[in-house]
Structure 1
Amino acid sequence: MFSRTSGNITAAVILILLTGVQAQHSVTLSSQSLCALTGSSVKISCKYTTADSSRVRETEWYQLQSSDGEERVLSKDPQFSARVSVRTEQNDCDLTVRDVRLRDSGVYNFRFRPSSSDWISASSGVNLTVTELQVKVDHKTAGQRKVKVICSSTCSLGANPHYDWYRNEVYKAYTDDTFIVLDSTRSSDEGSYSCQVEDSSGKRHRSPSVCVLGKECWGVTYTPERVCALKGSSVDLSCSYNPGGHTVTKSVWFIKEQAGAEPVDVREDEDYQGRVQYRQSFQNDCSMRITHLRESDAQTYRFRFYTDGGEYTGQPGVTLSVTDLKVSVSDTDSGGKKLNCSSTCTLPNNLTYIWYKNGQPVIHCKSAFCSVAVVSGTVSYSCAVEGHVSLISPPLCSAELWKLHAVWGAVGVVPVLALFLLTAILCIKRKRRAERDTDIQTPDPADHTYAALNPATMTSDYDTLQVSLAVHPHREKRRAPEMKNERSFVIKQFYECHNKPDTVLQ
């Protein structure tokens, strides 16, 4: 009896709890990601529920993550307001975006504000990717007799799509596959190609035209056209080329071009001996690697290829800048210091930086900027890039450290100068005394007085005199090389710290 009653109570409690859970505010989206072709329409299905039939004061769709990182309310944004519509029947919140563009890619979410609480939204939005059709040449067939041309898209185009192909804007073929195969030896296959596909709603989408075959299609693409790299490091100059269906017989990278003369392969230049590698990850790849970069490597590099039908040089080339690192400093609003590991050109933004304080790593600093508290004493900071720790910047020193090096440099010089002057004075006095003694008398070699001063028969007293006047200077002379090495070290540090002699950290 007790057991049955207890079971009924438990079931009732569970039912009440489930009812409470179901009555909570919530937003439900039909999917987590969508992909659409440019120019098409996109629909995101949406439902929302309120607890206890609470009155909804406000609803809105917004782009949580846009191309510029800002949050946008669609109904208030002029780029969307004329192209969006929201279904508002009962608890529906379906969103439709028409004529989507590449910049519409981003994360979308819906939210509502009940009378009894703040905004309610889905835990995660819908990631919309907008893409366009593209015609691409299969790099494995570039330069071959049979060239494979692909109609490419990152989106699924639905079940069993078919493709229409156009050559020089004139209809050429129909395929069920995403590609066609062209014959590079036939002039009727030369020209520019585009493809067209029909989506599930019946709307047709067409790709931009791409020159595929023929000498007029030749080209070289540098990505990017400007490169910045650290002195002493290695750099890849990325490049791809289109030989227009012809067979490539030779290719070179070069720096200087002279009228009427073939350009010199950079690998044969004595300044680049053993430092240049041509890389060919695929057939029309023309990338080049330069190692152990020098300041003189800052040049504009161009790629030229030769075929059975002529030659072509890619313009404008790749401009390479070579830089080293330098630490600069500025004040922060909190009264601290902001250190900047700077370079003369813009290095890639995905680098990890390493900071050093008095030669020891600063663990909390990983970017080109490092914030430090105000400190006193002898402090120096330097920086490097992960993977190139040997290419460390010159130290940026505090005023105290700079002054200390300057004092050390002076202190190292003064004793040596004083010792030199003292030794010179003693030598002059001894010489004059010897000349005066010669004028007074000519001593007999047997004379005991002379014997006392004869180096061959020195007494202990004379030894003591020599020790006081000569041995100590010789001892100082033995120390001089050590002092000279110390001064060299101090002078080196002095000039390194001389980059910024004013106060850095106080």
Structure 2
Amino acid sequence: MGRWILIILGLIPGVWSGSWDVTYQNQCALKGTSVNLKCKYDYPYGHFLTWTDWSKVSDGGSLIPLTDLPSPPNHFTYTGNNRGDCSLRVNNVQSSDQGAYYFRFSTTLGSWRSNKHALLSVKELTAVVQPYTAREGDTVMLTCRSGCPEPTHIVWFKERQRVWSSVFQARREDAGSYYCAILGQETVRSASVALSVHCEYMRDRN
């Protein structure tokens, strides 16, 4: 009965193909967040998995196993399984994590590494205050740019105090330093930018 199940599974689209294969999805992550490098793999029937390994391409072009990189414990976590899923989780992403990654594996009857790679891009939040010099009553707009295509829930702070509107009419007390962060992950934040607010010019007396 088990043999017939294997044959049927081999005929269903999307189920293991029984051939050597590794496929990836490129990812973009903000510095300080965590990201999953999604990866799928397969190997011929009759093989048994014996070894898996992720490596990163160095600046010199060589492959360095992640276990040999100077990184904190559990910075890289393999979340895959024995067949089908070979995903890698990168925790507390840093600028040094940007680059190309390869997955390799061996079975009792062979080994495989794809010629393609998973590319991880690392970006940072950037706060923009427009205009950065305003007069009382001017409209001020706060914009936070992530550099990654995925939408994020952004919150604003002025000198660590929550700002509830990203568009407001400038007052003298609004002058100060502003930064944006990810809601629920406030440690993932931009550098601060300053807003200057000047009093209205005195009108000429008649």
* Alpha-carbon spacing, 1:220–1:373, altered in 2? closer, same or farther (3 Å): farther
Note the 1:263-274 alignment, pairs <5 A.
Answer: 263-271=63-71, 273-274=73-74
Which letter does structure 2 place at the counterpart of 1:387? G
Q: Any stretches of 5+ residues in structure 2 without a counterpart?
A: 132-137, 199-206
For residues 368-401 of structure 1, give each alpha carbon's deviation from its aligned partner in whole angstroms, at most 9, with x where no partner exists: xx33333345233211002321232222211359
* Alpha-carbon spacing, 1:148–1:251, altered in 2? closer, same or farther (3 Å): farther
SS across alignment from 2:96: helix
| Residue of structure 1 equivalent to 2:48 | 247
Cα deviation for residue 301 of structure 1 reads: 0.8
CA distance in structure 2 between the partners assigned to 1:264 and 1:255 by the alignment: 5
* Alpha-carbon spacing, 1:397–1:146, altered in 2? closer, same or farther (3 Å): farther
CA distance in structure 1 between the partners assigned to 2:167 and 2:3 by the alignment: 59
Which letter does structure 2 place at the counterpart of 1:243? Y
Number of aligned residues: 186
* TM-score, normalised by the number of residues in structure 2: 0.73
Kept in 1, the 8 Å contact 2:30–2:148? The answer is: no
SS across alignment from 2:33: coil
| Residue of structure 1 equivalent to 2:191 | 394
SS across alignment from 1:270: coil
CA distance in structure 2 between the partners assigned to 1:306 and 1:318 by the alignment: 19
| Residue of structure 2 equivalent to 1:359 | 160
Of Structure 1 and Structure 2, which has the larger fraction of its residues in strand? 2
Q: 1:237 aligns with which of 37, 43, 51?
A: 37
CA distance in structure 2 between the partners assigned to 1:253 and 1:231 by the alignment: 21
* Alpha-carbon spacing, 1:233–1:248, altered in 2? closer, same or farther (3 Å): same
Which letter does structure 1 place at the counterpart of 2:123? T
Q: 2:180 aligns with which of 383, 399, 403?
A: 383
CA distance in structure 1 between the partners assigned to 2:5 and 2:65 by the alignment: 32
Q: CA RMSD in A?
A: 3.2
| Residue of structure 2 equivalent to 1:374 | 170
Note the 1:39-58 alignment, pairs <5 A.
Answer: none
SS across alignment from 1:316: coil
Which letter does structure 2 place at the counterpart of 1:221? T
Kept in 2, the 8 Å contact 1:229–1:347? The answer is: no
Of Structure 1 and Structure 2, which has the larger fraction of its residues in helix? 1
CA distance in structure 1 between the partners assigned to 2:171 and 2:4 by the alignment: 67
| Residue of structure 2 equivalent to 1:337 | 140
| Residue of structure 2 equivalent to 1:161 | none
- Matched-pair identity in %: 27
For residues 232-261 of structure 1, give each alpha carbon's deviation from its aligned partner in whole angstroms, at most 9, with x where no partner exists: 23222121211132322111100138xxx9
Which letter does structure 2 place at the counterpart of 1:219? D
Q: Any stretches of 5+ residues in structure 1 without a counterpart?
A: 1-144, 150-178, 183-192, 195-206, 365-369, 402-506
CA distance in structure 2 between the partners assigned to 1:288 and 1:228 by the alignment: 14
Which letter does structure 1 place at the counterpart of 2:8? I
Structure with larger RCO (C-alpha < 8 A, sep 6+): 2
| Residue of structure 1 equivalent to 2:57 | 256
For residues 444-502 of structure 1, give each alpha carbon's deviation from its aligned partner in whole angstroms, at most 9, with x where no partner exists: xxxxxxxxxxxxxxxxxxxxxxxxxxxxxxxxxxxxxxxxxxxxxxxxxxxxxxxxxxx
Cα deviation for residue 146 of structure 1 reads: 5.3
CA distance in structure 2 between the partners assigned to 1:400 and 1:394 by the alignment: 20
SS across alignment from 1:180: helix
| Residue of structure 2 equivalent to 1:308 | 108
